[in-house]
Chain A
Amino acid sequence: MSAGQIAVSGRRPDVAAAVVGWARRNTWTVGLFGLLIVFIVVTKILQPNYGAPGVQGLAISILPIAFAAVAQTIVVIGGGIDLSVGPVMALASVTSAVLMKDQSDLFGVGVVIGVLLLGLLVGAINGGLVVVTKVPDIVVTLATSFVWAGTALLILNTPGGGASPWIMAIITGPLGNPWIPKALVVLAILVAVVWVPLRRSRFGLALYAVGSHPLAAFRSGIAVGPTKIVAYALAGFFAALGGLSLTATGGVGAPVPGSYTLQSVAAIVLGGVSLAGGRGGVLGPIIAVIVLALVRTDLFFAGVDPNWSTAIQGAILIGVVMFGSLVAMRKVRA
């Protein structure tokens, strides 16, 4: 570029251009969507009678991990990481199951609200420790993950308790059309109601700013510490939602959930969220969760040993992310 010349472009106000612009800025999400379609086609080929019931089952099975991925996304966009997502889910799951067992529906609603507040509190504690002690986030949340996991086991040391029937009904079955699973609708509504307004608020801007360049954010007048604490609290909130959906899908409290923490990290990386912070959104990780679940389904249909399928999932993760960074590097060079 010659001295003094600066690339500029005029403003294009029309809607079509806006959509194109969105797609260009979110190439990763668009590409991931393409990958999702590929896997749907593969599923249909491997199992020609895969249909609405399969989609229902898939939607219910991904619900907890999708909430975990949203939780992780928020923290990572803000430049942190939360290794306690899984244990917070367990804590929320057992708390809700113990309190809800054999209680009225109204009491169940109270329990749900209480557990969500618990999630906010637990997340805020994570964030507060990170900000106040200045101990690296990975260490703080690793430590608290043991604390929350132990607390969950103290509350309930084997799967037990119960779930209010309404909470199970909310996510089971279709909504009108058999192809539209309630679980997916619940996910979409909750993310839309909580995340979208936040994303567009001043907090949303501050979150991306803090993750992108903390010094510039500080100089722009952002309260860096409080922004981080709110991010962790929101992660706690979404992890609690994940825990509630564990209870709802299983009908009992799960004191030792699966490897949700690491799966959430895998999903956000595949979903185009930069681990360095400041980049990405929640749509990509949610699609990534579905893609990873479909991979598992397809490998099952193909009759692959389940142990192999885990290894193959890992290989796909590395392959896709490497491919993505190579494409990004090309773009920068060009």
Chain B
Amino acid sequence: MDQTDATPELLLDATDVAKAYGAVLALRSASLAVRPGEVHALMGANGAGKSTLVKILTGGVRPDHGTILVKGKPFAPRSPTDARRGGIVSVYQEPSLIPDLDVRSNLRLTRTSPESVRHWLAELGLPDLDLTSVVRDLPLAALRIIDLARALAMEPAILMLDEMTAALPANLTERVLEVIGRVKGSAQSVIFISHRMIEIGAVCDRATVLREGSTVGVVEVTERSEDRIVALMLGDIVRRGTVVRSEASAVAARAADATPRLSARNLTVGRELSDVSFDLYPGEVLGVVALEGQGQDELFDVLSGSERPTGGELVVDGQPRSFRHPADAIRAGLVYVPADRAEALLMQRSVRENIALPFTTRFGAWGPIDLRGERKKVEGAISTLQIDTRAAGEVRRLSGGNQQKVTIARWVAGGVRTMLCFDPTRGIDIGTKQQIYQLLRDLAAAGAAVLLYTSELKEVQLACDRAIVIFGGRIVAEIAVADADEATLLRAAYDLRPEELMPEELASAAVAAETADASMVGQP
């Protein structure tokens, strides 16, 4: 393998890049070497540090240390304009066009030639776009194509595409991949970030894999490299094999004629979620696994009553329901624990008020609050969840883990029947995580139904009875907990062809190769 020799012929050479946000180490030691004329994939599971590295390369944040060379010259951009001057132009996940201006004015802002953009628009499959249309009125797919055409027209040394194809219809994706492929052999390069393995395989030459903030390997992309990449993204967890398994008693105990607590029937939300059906039974924890932005946000918004589905129906306890407001969902027994605690809590108010809020604010209950009854329920919930109440006067002074416990306690206090948890352990310490898993198991044992979306694959085996996997807005797999090891889940999440388990020898080979790669990459 020759990919690590740091010759000046590299277009981009980033080594040992690190970035911490407060106490959280987002990037430990990332490196990325891009040759001229190649399409280079940047891969990594959620939280591996991809987006931080992208931000550093586009001037959004500055690294704590590490060296970045573009065309052999030091590169330390302080803004996207700076990055562009240095040779890197990025197309972001969300379009960076000004919604209230027309396309032509947007091009004037970046001093891009409209003729050149028109040329690229034609290449990308939008030859007739009216440049006087206001951006706000154009469909999302068109905006992404315009964004890309504008970036191509700037003729950067390195074009960075961050989840560029995520919202594109298939025919436009094809055109985009075809245009990207033309870079091969030229003086330009492309850094390509995508959750879709098929696209990586179709267009990329090499892939750099990040895990937990470090570069763990660089892989030549071939037909067989998919497994290598997945193994690298997973790391040594593949070897660890046996994980603590939750007692999958609920599934066994489920009677054949039991009524599901909650049934989704062909739920559809715009283009984000299509035809999603599943049953959630009392006494079980059902995991939802998906890469970022596959429609899980919309699913939980619909179930919690924040958004109305465009198609399909919801059946709760055998009754068809439609929610116009979260209050309707709560009345039907569906309560929601969001990942962002700031969305759920009144940060300036006390623990007690926060816990009591859901069951004292019902319209019918207006008037004097039964303070004694409230206190009893609240104290019950606090002790069930073991909330540290030393700073109970203001929720924002609690630790993240304790705040998350409060968001759960507010539903537990009133008696919970169905709990919808969206990544409830994001960003909290390991001890509290354990307590939350235990709590979810206890709730299920007491007859509640729990739907748990998690971005940490190992949580499925720690807390769930089975898991459904969503990709591109559809359920692509249902996996029983016994089979739900991380490799299987990750493969399913990338919508790769089903395999029972990754063969043991392949896994260990991957890990061995990865260790070798990591040490080579680490060499200056």
Task: Give CA–CA (A281, B138) in the complex, Å.
Answer: 22
Chain A residues lying within 8 Å of B126, measured Cβ to Cβ, are 6, 8
User: Which of B103-111, B242-250, B408-416 faces chain A?
Assistant: B103-111
Chain A residues lying within 8 Å of B132, measured Cβ to Cβ, are 11, 21
Q: What interface size band does chain A fall in?
A: 20 to 34
A134 near B: Cβ within 8 Å? no
B67 near A: Cβ within 8 Å? no
A38 near B: Cβ within 8 Å? no
| Residue picked from B81, B98, B133, most chain A C-beta under 10 Å | B98
Task: Give CA–CA (A1, B137) in the complex, Å.
Answer: 13
Chain B residues lying within 8 Å of A330, measured Cβ to Cβ, are none
* Chain A residue, CB-CB nearest to B127: A8
Instruction: Tell whether, in the assembled complex, residue B84 and residue A3 are in contact, meaning their CB atoms are under 8 Å apart.
Output: no
Known: A10-B130, A25-B134, A209-B109. A4 touches B172 (CB 8 A): yes
Contact with A along B95-128 (1 / 0, CB 8 A): 1111111000110111000000000000000101
Known: A3-B169, A3-B171, A202-B108. A218 touches B99 (CB 8 A): no
A242 near B: Cβ within 8 Å? no
Known: A3-B170, A205-B109, A206-B109. A212 touches B99 (CB 8 A): yes
Sampled A-B contacts (16; CB under 8 Å):
A4-B169, A4-B170, A6-B126, A6-B139, A6-B141, A7-B142, A10-B128, A202-B108, A208-B105, A209-B98, A212-B100, A213-B99, A215-B96, A216-B96, A219-B96, A220-B98
Question: Chain A: residues with CB nearer than 8 A to chain B?
Answer: 1, 3-4, 6-11, 21, 25, 202, 205-206, 208-209, 211-213, 215-222, 278-279
Instruction: Tell whether, in the assembled complex, residue A212 and residue B130 are in contact, meaning their CB atoms are under 8 Å apart.
Output: no
Chain B residues lying within 8 Å of A221, measured Cβ to Cβ, are 79-81, 84, 109-110
B92 near A: Cβ within 8 Å? yes
Task: Give CA–CA (A218, B172) in the complex, Å.
Answer: 27
Instruction: Tell whether, in the assembled complex, residue B142 and residue A6 are in contact, meaning their CB atoms are under 8 Å apart.
Output: yes
Task: Give CA–CA (A209, B108) in the complex, Å.
Answer: 11
Chain B residues lying within 8 Å of A208, measured Cβ to Cβ, are 98, 100-101, 105
| Residue picked from A9, A219, A222, A279, most chain B C-beta under 10 Å | A219
Task: Give CA–CA (A202, B96) in the complex, Å.
Answer: 18
How far does the Cβ of B449 sit from chain A's closest Cβ, in whole Å? 35
B129 near A: Cβ within 8 Å? yes
Task: Give CA–CA (A199, B358) in the complex, Å.
Answer: 50
How far does the Cβ of B293 sit from chain A's closest Cβ, in whole Å? 18
Chain B residues lying within 8 Å of A7, measured Cβ to Cβ, are 138-139, 142
Chain A residues lying within 8 Å of B170, measured Cβ to Cβ, are 3-4
Task: Give CA–CA (A7, B139) in the complex, Å.
Answer: 8
Known: A4-B171, A205-B105, A221-B81. A213 touches B98 (CB 8 A): yes
How far does the Cβ of B107 sit from chain A's closest Cβ, in whole Å? 10
Task: Give CA–CA (A11, B114) in the complex, Å.
Answer: 14
Q: What interface size band does chain B fall in?
A: 20 to 34
Chain A residues lying within 8 Å of B141, measured Cβ to Cβ, are 4, 6
Task: Give CA–CA (A58, B6) in the complex, Å.
Answer: 76
- The residue from B97, B99, B106, B129 contacting A278, defined by CB atoms under 8 A apart: B99
Known: A212-B98, A212-B99, A220-B96. A8 touches B109 (CB 8 A): no
- The residue from A9, A25, A222, A278 contacting B109, defined by CB atoms under 8 A apart: A222
Known: A205-B105, A212-B98. A9 touches B142 (CB 8 A): no
Chain A residues lying within 8 Å of B101, measured Cβ to Cβ, are 205, 208-209, 212
Instruction: Tell whether, in the assembled complex, residue B100 and residue A216 are in contact, meaning their CB atoms are under 8 Å apart.
Output: no
Task: Give CA–CA (A16, B130) in the complex, Å.
Answer: 18
Chain A residues lying within 8 Å of B80, measured Cβ to Cβ, are 218-221
Instruction: Tell whether, in the assembled complex, residue A220 and residue B100 are in contact, meaning their CB atoms are under 8 Å apart.
Output: no
Task: Give CA–CA (A310, B169) in the complex, Å.
Answer: 55
Chain A residues lying within 8 Å of B138, measured Cβ to Cβ, are 6-7
Chain B residues lying within 8 Å of A215, measured Cβ to Cβ, are 96
Instruction: Tell whether, in the assembled complex, residue A8 and residue B130 are in contact, meaning their CB atoms are under 8 Å apart.
Output: yes
| Residue picked from A209, A213, A216, A278, most chain B C-beta under 10 Å | A216
- The residue from A11, A220, A222, A279 contacting B130, defined by CB atoms under 8 A apart: A11
- The residue from B98, B130, B169 contacting A9, defined by CB atoms under 8 A apart: B130
Task: Give CA–CA (A76, B169) in the complex, Å.
Answer: 37
Chain B residues lying within 8 Å of A3, measured Cβ to Cβ, are 169-171
Task: Give CA–CA (A279, B137) in the complex, Å.
Answer: 14
Task: Give CA–CA (A269, B79) in the complex, Å.
Answer: 34
| Residue picked from B95, B97, B100, B129, most chain A C-beta under 10 Å | B100
- Nearest 6 CB-CB pairings of A with B: A3-B169, A221-B81, A212-B100, A278-B100, A4-B169, A219-B96
Contact with A along B28-69 (1 / 0, CB 8 A): 000000000000000000000000000000000000000000
Instruction: Tell whether, in the assembled complex, residue B129 and residue A205 are in contact, meaning their CB atoms are under 8 Å apart.
Output: no
| Residue picked from B99, B105, B106, B109, most chain A C-beta under 10 Å | B109
Instruction: Tell whether, in the assembled complex, residue B79 and residue A220 are in contact, meaning their CB atoms are under 8 Å apart.
Output: no
Instruction: Tell whether, in the assembled complex, residue A278 and residue B96 are in contact, meaning their CB atoms are under 8 Å apart.
Output: no
How far does the Cβ of A185 sit from chain B's closest Cβ, in whole Å? 31
Q: A10-B128, A216-B95 are in contact. List 20 more A-B contacts (CB 8 A).
A: A3-B169, A6-B126, A6-B138, A6-B142, A7-B138, A10-B130, A25-B134, A202-B108, A205-B108, A206-B109, A213-B99, A215-B96, A220-B80, A220-B97, A220-B106, A220-B109, A220-B110, A221-B79, A221-B80, A221-B84
How far does the Cβ of A26 sit from chain B's closest Cβ, in whole Å? 12
Task: Give CA–CA (A249, B269) in the complex, Å.
Answer: 60
Chain B residues lying within 8 Å of A8, measured Cβ to Cβ, are 126, 128-130, 133
Task: Give CA–CA (A208, B97) in the complex, Å.
Answer: 12
Chain A residues lying within 8 Å of B106, measured Cβ to Cβ, are 220
How far does the Cβ of B120 sit from chain A's closest Cβ, in whole Å? 15
Chain A residues lying within 8 Å of B130, measured Cβ to Cβ, are 8-11
Task: Give CA–CA (A1, B167) in the complex, Å.
Answer: 14
* Chain B residue, CB-CB nearest to A210: B98
How far does the Cβ of A92 sit from chain B's closest Cβ, in whole Å? 31
Task: Give CA–CA (A212, B139) in the complex, Å.
Answer: 18
Q: Which of B268-300 contact A (CB under 8 A)?
A: none
Instruction: Tell whether, in the assembled complex, residue A1 and residue B139 are in contact, meaning their CB atoms are under 8 Å apart.
Output: yes
Instruction: Tell whether, in the assembled complex, residue A216 and residue B139 are in contact, meaning their CB atoms are under 8 Å apart.
Output: no
Chain A residues lying within 8 Å of B99, measured Cβ to Cβ, are 212-213, 216, 278
